[in-house]
Amino acid sequence: MIQSVGRAFAILEVLTQEAERPKPLSEIAEKVQLNLSTCANLLKTMRDLGYVDQPRKKGGYTLGPMAYCLARNGPYRKDLVSAAEPHMARLAGEVRETVLLATMERGKRSILCQVNGNEVFQIRDQFLLRQDVYRTATGRLLLAHLSPEELRSFVAGNGLPGEGQWPEAASKVKLAAALERIRSEGKVITLADLVGVAFPIFESGRVVAALGLFLPRERFKREHRNRILKQMAGTAALISSQLEERQHGYHRQGRGQSPRVRGGPGRHRACGAV
């Protein structure tokens, strides 16, 4: 990998976090592990090219117009987002909790779409890169379904979970057992002040995403808990089924047959990407 290119993309990933908040040079340099001079030179070049913006002179940095232009064709995995979004919207509205859709690519958890169903109902329009794989329910579920080679690469690059991340999986043996348990149970529940729940989304027989939900622990009780688990399992199955049907439709098109058209809700709000 060309080092300067890798560093530039690392800077973009940092700026994607809380995209509207300008980040000072010192914060960016620390997160990408560069000295201030090297980081400043990269930021200047990226600013000249339009991928980075500096709203105020000598102020913090944000994503520039060209970074947003890269996403003009819609969200990453547009097919997955469009299949999942109406079901996620229904689930969030029914349980009145926040629902999200996450994937993992090259060891990084990415939130494709999020629906806030508790009091304020909205769909977030940001593509959020998240490194906290070990801490989150969706991260753990996606990790459990990596290939052996992908898992070895992830652990080599990120280390084993720390005590504050996933104490039950703090060694290679414990991690392997925890991941096997996730595959066996078919879901993940993380219990802390904020509870996380995740179910797998399948496409062509493999897990391609995780349907997640989070809420305060005091609400994850009795009937509401059972309702959430039941409806999340059903929603994940519906999304998976729709992805499979689309795949079969594409295969029929390839053989010169017309895909079957199914009806659905008349209006869907699409999730965008940054």
Which residue in 2, 62, 6 sits closest to 34, CA to CA? Answer: 6
- pTM exceeds 0.75: no
Quote the pLDDT of residue 257. Answer: 52
Quick check: 158 and 166 in contact, CB under 8 A?
no
pLDDT above 50 for 265: no
In the chain, what are the domains? 3-69 (1.10.10.10), 78-254 (3.30.450.40)
Instruction: Tell me the C-alpha distance between 145 and 208, whole Å.
Output: 9
HEC profile for 64-76? CHHHHHCCCCCCC
Percentage of the chain with pLDDT > 70? 82
Q: What is the pLDDT of residue 75?
A: 62
pLDDT digits (tens, 9 = 90+) for 81-111: 889 989 999 999 999 999 999 998 877 888 8
Predicted local distance difference test score (pLDDT) of residue 69: 77
Q: Per-residue pLDDT tens for 135-176?
A: 999 999 999 999 999 999 999 988 999 878 898 999 999 999
Residue 177's φ and ψ, nearest 5 degrees, are -65, -40
Instruction: Rounding to the nearest 10 degrees, give the CA dihedral for residues 78, 188, 137, 116.
Output: 60
How many whole angstroms separate alpha carbon 149 and alpha carbon 131? Answer: 19
Mean pLDDT (the chain) is 83
Tokens representing residue 86 in the block: 């109406």
DSSP character at residue 206: E
CB 61 within 8 A of CB 25: yes
* pLDDT category of residue 29 using cuts at 50, 70 and 90: very high
- Mean pLDDT, rounded, for 24-39: 95
User: What pLDDT, on the 0 to 100 scale, is given for residue 1?
Assistant: 54
Given a cut of 80, is residue 4 above it in pLDDT?
yes
CA dihedral 114, 12, 132, 97 (to 10 degrees): -10
Share of the chain above pLDDT 90, in %: 57
Single out the residue of 204, 201, 7, 219 nearest to residue 95, CA to CA: 219
Tokens for 153, please give them.
């690469």
Q: Does residue 243 register a pLDDT over 60?
A: yes
Rounded Cα–Cα distance for residues 134 and 151 (Å): 12
